[in-house]
Chains A and B, each alone.
Chain A
Amino acid sequence: MNSLKDYTDPSFSKLLYQRLFANKEALVGFLILTALLLLVLPLFLSPFRLGLAGRYLCYAFVAVGLVMCWGKAGILSLGQGMFFGAGGYCMAMFLKLEASDPESTAIQTTPGIPDFMDWNQVTELPWFWMPFKSFPLTVLLILVVPLVLAFVMSFFYFKGRVTGVVFAILTQSMVACLWYFIVGNQGYFGGINGITDLKTLNGWDIREDSSQRILYFICSLLLLACILLSRYILSSRLGRVLVAQRDMENRVRFSGYNITSFKVFVFCFAAVISSIGGALFTLQVGFMSPNLIGVVPSIDMVIFTAVGGRESLLGAVYGALAVSYAKTIFSEAYPNLWMFFYGGVFIAIVLFLPKGLAGLYQDNIKVWVKNWMRKPETDPESLKIKESEVNNVE
């Protein structure tokens, strides 16, 4: 029997390290991703390609959020575009106001308001655009808007215990609703064309190669931070409860947990992460439009996660990169074949690779590497440790 001491948690700093990197593999995996994002890609990609990679990484934020709420907690959301869009639009509104100063919009009927408002006979800046005159307020809203939206849109349903399928359908309708809302409000949100011609952030030109490069690094660092934060949550008791309620909802409930609040929490968490991704996306592409956040892109975001491995945080990043890259390359060269292939990916993942690329690694590559590196003297004790390692890696 193990002693008491083996079980009690160590001091804070050691505990933090343990939680972020449960074992060597988790540490190495994280370092490889860090090196890839911060060294390999910037060194070997042309500015144009690096810019594309930066955009894909914005989707990776959403994918990480989906790992948390779909993979770990079992809540499939087909409406993450809603939150991606919340962040994206907040940022776009700030940038648009900055681009619409009275001098550059002097030819409009009403100078000083965004051009699309002028075209739609809006003569005064609406009240809900006011906060976006201030950058700190904008940043705050990028975090608060998705939080409030996610809370309102999930609390009552989780409280009323809607099933996973119903919630998935509801989230899809929600993102459709947001799409119609933006399209229907051309004068206030730019309608189907979106908010375009974004130029500077606090005077800093976001369109130049050098700024794109800096934005890429900001994006990568924030993504890595989000992954670590997610790991911290998953390794705490909170994370265990999330996974446990996915598999054994009643047992968790009858252990005295209020499952509703846990579900709402993880849904809001995923929403906020997605929103950060959306804001960074706007910064890197220079516009935001409803077609980037509608029903179809929202499902694309789910498939990024599924391809990467719905339970793997690192896999989600690779999934977002791989699928987006393939889409860019093939959908331009062979648009017809691409749709067949893409549709096939949905089916193949569900039928043959439910754990995605991460599962492929777990079940094949890792086993192969292990056999290759195996030392001749394998005592049962070390095997046991490996077994527990396998179960702990995410």
Chain B
Amino acid sequence: MSSNTDFILAIEDLTVSFDGFKAVDGLTLYINKGELRVIIGPNGAGKTTVLDLISGKTRATEGSIRFNNIELTKMKEHQIVRAGIGRKFQTPSIYGNLTVFENLELSYPYDRNVFGSLRFKRSQAVVEKIFEVAEEIFLEELLEKQAEFLSHGQKQWLEIGMLLVQDPELIMLDEPVAGMTAKERDATALLLKKIAKRRSVVIIEHDMGFVGKIADKVTVLHLGKIIKEGTMEAVQNDPTVKKVYLGH
């Protein structure tokens, strides 16, 4: 085991194999506090699997993931969330038959055990927090709307909002602008920059234009391995990256 670090997230020698196929292969990745990191890579590069591993959805075969120097690989999903990591899925996953307000309320990070949730009351603090987040994600006028009737982009925002209510130190987003209009993308870019001021963010994204707008640092993944890490410009001019994207 390596010693403690200042990184918020330190992934070392991470490997996972499914029936012999190594979806992630000896990955080492460090994320600084307050950093906004984008992971890119062609299809099947293992991007989503990395998020699955960090958030505990998939168990690692080897290696370590430490968050604020806490080992995550043995923890359950809900424990990882409670430690301070929020995760948004590739397809918006929200509660369609609840209102926007209720969606956000369900993510409020107190009273999350059985009997606590039975006692849970909407106090002023709860409502204030939800109002604050709703404003941030541009949904303050739609609090009473049933979530399944939101537009695709609004659903994406709502899910981001559900993470914000949790107040995590690290937010992980899987393709947050998929299916958004150009206007919505611009708004989202601003939103993410704002979010990143107070916490660390890891984003998986395909849209290079969008990546260029938001990223501090880009990591390129291919076949479960990192092939390049650096600024957007450096990555774009790298011959290996070009080769991977354009084929052999």
In-complex A–B contact (CB below 8 Å): yes
Interface residues of A (CB under 8 A from B): 1-2, 4, 7-9, 15, 233, 236-238, 240-241, 243-244, 247-248, 250-259, 261-262, 265, 391
Pick from B115-123, B180-188, B193-201 the stretch touching chain A: B115-123
Q: Across the interface, which residues of A come within 8 angstroms of B107, CB to CB?
A: 255
Chain A positions within 8 Å of B78 at CB level: 253, 256-259
Q: Which residues of A contact B138 (CB under 8 A)?
A: none
Q: What 6 pairs across the A-B complex have the smallest Cβ distances?
A: A256-B81, A237-B120, A237-B117, A238-B117, A9-B122, A7-B127
* Nearest chain A CB to B134 CB, angstrom units: 9
Binds A, one of B88-96, B211-219, B235-243: B88-96
In the assembled complex, the Cα of A4 lies from the Cα of B89 at a distance in Å of 30
By beta carbon, the residue of chain A nearest B131 is A4
Q: Does B19 contact A (CB under 8 A)?
A: no
Closest to A159 in B: B76
A-B contact pairs, 27 of them (CB 8 A): A1-B140, A1-B141, A1-B143, A4-B128, A7-B122, A7-B130, A8-B123, A8-B124, A8-B127, A9-B123, A236-B117, A237-B117, A237-B120, A244-B95, A248-B95, A250-B93, A251-B94, A251-B95, A254-B55, A254-B77, A254-B81, A255-B112, A256-B78, A257-B112, A258-B76, A258-B113, A265-B114
Residue of A nearest to B81 (CB): A256
On chain B, the residues within 8 Å of A241 by CB distance are 106, 117
Residue from the list A7, A250, A262 in contact with B89, Cβ < 8 A: A250
- Determine how close the nearest CB of chain A comes to the CB of B81; give it in whole angstroms: 4
> B148 to chain A: closest CB distance in Å?
11
Q: Does B111 contact A (CB under 8 A)?
A: yes
Is A247 in contact with B95, judged by CB distance below 8 angstroms?
Answer: yes
Taking CB atoms, residues of chain B closer than 8 Å to A4 are 124, 127-128, 131
A256 to B162 Cα, complex, angstroms: 11
Q: B101 within 8 Å of A by Cβ?
A: yes
Check A238/B95 contact, CB under 8 A, given A2-B143, A253-B77: no
Q: Does B225 contact A (CB under 8 A)?
A: no
Q: CB of B86 within 8 A of chain A?
A: yes
B82 contacts chain A at the CB level, 8 A cutoff: yes
Contact A237 to B118, CB < 8 A, known contacts A244-B106, A251-B93, A261-B113:
yes
Chain B count of residues within 8 A CB distance of the other chain: 46
Q: How far is the CA of A236 from the CA of B118 in the complex (A)?
A: 6
- Besides A240-B98, A251-B94, A254-B55, 20 new A-B residue pairs in contact (Cβ under 8 A), listed by A number: A7-B122, A8-B124, A236-B118, A238-B120, A243-B97, A247-B95, A247-B96, A248-B95, A250-B57, A252-B106, A253-B77, A254-B87, A255-B112, A256-B81, A256-B82, A256-B109, A256-B166, A257-B112, A258-B76, A391-B97
Rounded to whole Å, the gap between the CB of A256 and the closest CB of chain B is: 4
- B102 close to chain A: CB less than 8 A: yes
Q: Give B46-60 as 1s and 0s: 1 = Cβ < 8 Å from A's Cβ atoms.
A: 000000000101000
The distance in angstroms between the C-alpha atoms of A295 and B93, with both chains bound, is: 38
Contact B82 A237 (CB under 8 A): no
Residue of A9, A15, A251 most packed against chain B (CB within 10 A): A251
* Closest A residue to B121 using CB positions: A9
Residues on the A chain within 8 Å of B105, using CB: 237
> What's the Cα separation between A261 and B93 when bound, in Å?
22
- Which of chain A's residues have a CB closer than 8 A to the CB of B76? 258
Given contacts A1-B140, A244-B95, A391-B146, contact A237 B114 (CB under 8 A): no
